[in-house]
Amino acid sequence: MEKNLRNGPVLFSNFTRGEGIKKALSLSREDILFEIRDSKLKGRGGAGFPTATKWTLVSAANSPEKYVICNADEGEPGTFKDRVLLLEYPELVFDGMVIAGYTIGANLGIIYLRGEYEYMKKSLEDYIEAMKKENLLGKNILGKKDFNFDIIIRMGSGAYVCGEETALIESLEGHRGEARNRPPFPVSTGFMNKPTTVNNVETLASIPHILLKGGEWFRKHGTDKSTGSKLFSVSGDCDKPGVYELPWGTTINQLLNLVNAKNTKAVQVGGASGTCIPKSQFDRSLAYEDAATGGSIIIFNESRNMLHVLKNFMEFFVEESCGQCTPCRIGNVKLLEGVEMVESNNFTFSYINKLKDLGKTMQVASKCGLGQSSPNSFISILENFSEEIFNGNGGNNGN
Amino acid sequence: MLVLEKNAMTEEIEKLVLKYGNNRSSLLPILQDLQKEHKYIPDFAQQEIARLMNIHPVEIYGVITFYSFLNTQPKGRNIVRLCQTITCDLAGKKSVAKTIERELGIKFGETTKDGRITLEYANCIGMCDQGPALLINERVYTKVNSEKAVKILSEVK
């Protein structure tokens, strides 16, 4: 594996282990919540739920046991920012978890690490041990009476759907990773039916910087509705793939220049469950209010067959659908069949249009985010690249 | 399974239950440890976990079959997973896959006759900036081409 030189305004700026915890322990819980609310930090996993709201709900819940869960089940195709954070910036993630524990009144934090990242487990465990030695974890942390907090690591076992927070909790409780009905939400009925905050690795990593430099400082980066910066995992057809920290609101064109992408035809924003943006819309900005993403940016140049790309995505969803609800289980299979029909040039437009309607039904009728977002690429790729896909040549464009 | 093997298995599971606790949330860590040790979770082990943890065996079977890294049938000593998701696919997964199949003489989903390697596809393993990527047991190999893949596989014991 390779490491790159990194710099960025927030996450990739200077930080020492424990700084965030020290600062947090000097503040009251209300002050911490105020600072985070002021920063307008939103969940970095993709859904964009305001972190302050989540934490306020959990901290207000009346329960002797509460939990902090760090969602490190990074499975969205094209996303690898959590890998970088956990390997190169564990101090941010762990400080963020301890601060979360202090704020909501939890004693245990759990990192749900995806099975594919097992090679990091050892270094993370060593890190936890080092923190215990410095009294950054354990009993009466840094002399703060009655603040006890520990972190454990639990492994996933190769299921994409476990990145969905209720499926993740099911998995932690020893069940099949099938999403729960919501409500009740994890903030009141989470792990072991206790109030739980489930946060993305990057969300937690942002917290120490917000406390140290203030919510107002954080808001200076990004746009009005998307404050701060974001880690973008850039892959595909470009000279410099990797993780980049950029302020929200950066346009796709700016990003493409930065990574030196040439002859770009399309950019998949938000991974397989995101949308495919054609060249004509490259002036759109990456932000919650425009082209939203959990960080995945996949670049396709002119030589790529978009139907082939779509087929790869649909195969992914057919494999990863948990099979619990009908729209997602059957729907994804039908969409993949549709792609194969177009590929073999054995289709009718009326049927493909029916499939697009089916996709829209899946977006509202599926139980969890997987089925609700899996038709996104089907719809956006077929609509934005209809000319080349329906050329009667199985989407091949002469290459 | 021989009686001796069964006894050893029971003992192993008892130890794991002692280590992780016999509440339901310990189920996955126990299964993961067994998987790592035996490369699969045999029927007998499922029944013993069920007995010791007071869960119905069907529940255990249900959990194992849900997760792609757990299985109920034996596999090879080493599990080789090639990432099949989009970026690795664009970066040349197909030719690497063909080379591996040719070298090992097996298709994806199969195990070599000597039980050395089980070959599988994996969905995105988070190495998209350095594809095509290969996961052998827990280790990751990046920027794999056909030549490199053959060399890596020849070192797998």
Tell whether A161 and A290 lie within a shared domain. Answer: no
Residue A248, sorted as left (phi over 0), alpha (psi -120 to 50) or beta, turns out to be beta
Task: Please tell me the number of Cα atoms within 13 Å of A366 on its side-chain side.
Answer: 27
Examine residue A76 and state whether it is found in any structural domain, yes or no.
Answer: yes
| Selected residue of A74, A237, A312 to mutate for chain B interface (largest B Cβ count, 10 A) | A312
User: Taking the CA atoms of chain B, what radius of gyration do you get in angstroms?
Assistant: 18
Q: Determine whether the interchain pair B122/A320 forms a contact, defined as Cβ–Cβ distance below 8 Å.
A: no
Is the pLDDT assigned to residue A114 strictly greater than 60?
yes
Sheet holding A264-269, edge to edge: A242-247, A229-236, A296-301, A264-269, A275-278
Provide the pLDDT for residue A8. Answer: 86
Residues of chain A neighbouring B85 (CB-CB closer than 8 A): 77-78, 272, 312, 316
Residue A146, sorted as left (phi over 0), alpha (psi -120 to 50) or beta, turns out to be left
Q: Letter for the amino acid at A280? A: S
> What proportion of chain B, given as a percentage, has pLDDT over 90?
97
Task: Map residue A50 onto helix, strand or coil.
Answer: strand
C-alpha torsion angle, residues A103, A104, A110, A115 (rounded to 10): -90
Tell whether A148 and A65 lie within a shared domain. Answer: yes
Tell whether A279 and A323 lie within a shared domain. Answer: no
- If you average pLDDT over residues A234-258, what whole number do you get? 95
Provide the pLDDT for residue A369. Answer: 93
> B137 burial class (0-12, 13-18, 19+ CB within 10 angstroms)?
middle
Provide the pLDDT for residue A398. Answer: 53
Average pLDDT, chain B: 95
Provide the pLDDT for residue A392. Answer: 76
- Reported as a pLDDT band with limits 50, 70 and 90, residue A30 is very high
Tell whether A234 and A155 lie within a shared domain. Answer: no
Examine residue A137 and state whether it is found in any structural domain, yes or no.
Answer: yes
Is the pLDDT assigned to residue A399 strictly greater than 90?
no
What CATH number does residue A173 fall under?
A: 3.40.50.11540
Provide the pLDDT for residue A6. Answer: 80
Tell whether A342 and A274 lie within a shared domain. Answer: no
Q: Determine whether the interchain pair B124/A75 forms a contact, defined as Cβ–Cβ distance below 8 Å.
A: yes
Tell whether A144 and A38 lie within a shared domain. Answer: yes
Question: Model confidence over B73-111: pLDDT tens digits?
Answer: 999 999 999 999 999 999 999 999 999 999 999 999 999
Is the pLDDT assigned to residue A7 strictly greater than 70?
yes
- Reported as a pLDDT band with limits 50, 70 and 90, residue A381 is very high
What gap in Å lies between CA A143 and CA A122, rounded to an integer? 28
Question: Model confidence over B99-143: pLDDT tens digits?
Answer: 999 999 999 999 999 999 999 999 999 999 998 999 999 999 999
What is the tally of structural domains in chain A?
A: 3
Q: Letter for the amino acid at A90? A: P
What gap in Å lies between CA A272 and CA A298, rounded to an integer? 9
Nearest chain A residue to B90, by CA: A236
Shortest distance, CA B70 to any CA of chain A (angstroms)? 7
Helices (H) and strands (E) in chain A, counts: 16, 9
Examine residue A112 and state whether it is found in any structural domain, yes or no.
Answer: yes
**Nearest CB to B138: which of A118, A173, A233?**
A118
- Reported as a pLDDT band with limits 50, 70 and 90, residue A393 is confident
What gap in Å lies between CA B135 and CA B82, rounded to an integer? 6
Final residue before a domain boundary, out of A301, A327, A361? A301
Examine residue A152 and state whether it is found in any structural domain, yes or no.
Answer: yes
What gap in Å lies between CA A297 and CA A209, rounded to an integer? 25
Is the pLDDT assigned to residue A380 strictly greater than 90?
yes
Tell whether A317 and A296 lie within a shared domain. Answer: no
Helices (H) and strands (E) in chain B, counts: 7, 4
Question: Model confidence over B10-39: pLDDT tens digits?
Answer: 999 999 999 999 999 999 999 999 999 999
Q: How do the domains of chain B map onto residue ranges?
A: 3-66, 78-154
Tell whether A319 and A363 lie within a shared domain. Answer: yes
Is the pLDDT assigned to residue A2 strictly greater than 60?
no
Q: Angle A190-A194-A199 (CA atoms, 0-180°, nearest 5)?
A: 45
Q: Determine whether the interchain pair B87/A78 forms a contact, defined as Cβ–Cβ distance below 8 Å.
A: yes
Residues of chain A neighbouring B34 (CB-CB closer than 8 A): none
What gap in Å lies between CA B85 and CA B93, rounded to an integer? 9
Tell whether A280 and A313 lie within a shared domain. Answer: no
Angle between helices B27-38 and B3-20 (to 10 degrees): 140
What gap in Å lies between CA B126 and CA A82, rounded to an integer? 9
What CATH number does residue A253 fall under?
A: 3.10.20.600
Is the pLDDT assigned to residue A5 strictly greater than 80?
no
Shortest distance, CA B26 to any CA of chain A (angstroms)? 6
**Nearest CB to B69: which of A157, A178, A236?**
A157
Residues of chain A neighbouring B84 (CB-CB closer than 8 A): 312, 315
Provide the pLDDT for residue A330. Answer: 97
Q: Taking a C-beta distance cutoff of 8 angstroms, is the pair A186, A166 a contact?
A: yes
> What proportion of chain B, given as a percentage, has pLDDT over 70?
100
Q: Which CATH superfamily is domain B78-154 in?
A: Glutaredoxin (3.40.30.10)
What gap in Å lies between CA A372 and CA A321, rounded to an integer? 11
Task: Map residue B88 onto helix, strand or coil.
Answer: helix
Shortest distance, CA A348 to any CA of chain B (angstroms)? 27
Tell whether A196 and A51 lie within a shared domain. Answer: yes
Average pLDDT, chain A: 94
Chain B positions touching chain A (beta carbons under 8 Å): 23-29, 31-32, 62-63, 66-70, 84-87, 89-90, 122-131, 135, 138-140, 142
Shortest distance, CA A216 to any CA of chain B (angstroms)? 33
Provide the pLDDT for residue A394. Answer: 74
Tell whether A314 and A339 lie within a shared domain. Answer: yes
How is domain B3-66 classified at the architecture level of CATH?
Orthogonal Bundle (1.10)
Examine residue A270 and state whether it is found in any structural domain, yes or no.
Answer: yes
- If you average pLDDT over residues A51-77, what whole number do you get? 96
Shortest distance, CA B56 to any CA of chain A (angstroms)? 12
What gap in Å lies between CA A128 and CA A84, rounded to an integer? 17
What gap in Å lies between CA A134 and CA A128, rounded to an integer? 10
Examine residue A13 and state whether it is found in any structural domain, yes or no.
Answer: no
Nearest chain A residue to B126, by CA: A80
Q: Between A and B, how many residue pairs show a Cβ–Cβ distance under 8 A?
A: 126
Beta-ladder partners of A285: A251
Q: Residue A120: give the domain boundaries.
A: 19-218
Final residue before a domain boundary, out of A190, A218, A246? A218
Question: Model confidence over A303-357: pLDDT tens digits?
Answer: 999 999 999 999 999 999 999 999 999 999 999 999 999 999 999 999 999 999 9
Is the pLDDT assigned to residue B66 strictly greater than 70?
yes
Examine residue A9 and state whether it is found in any structural domain, yes or no.
Answer: no
Tell whether A246 and A313 lie within a shared domain. Answer: no
User: Would you give the end-to-end CA distance of chain B in angstroms?
Assistant: 26
Q: What is the pTM of this model?
A: 0.95
Final residue before a domain boundary, out of A301, A332, A362? A301
Provide the pLDDT for residue B60. Answer: 97
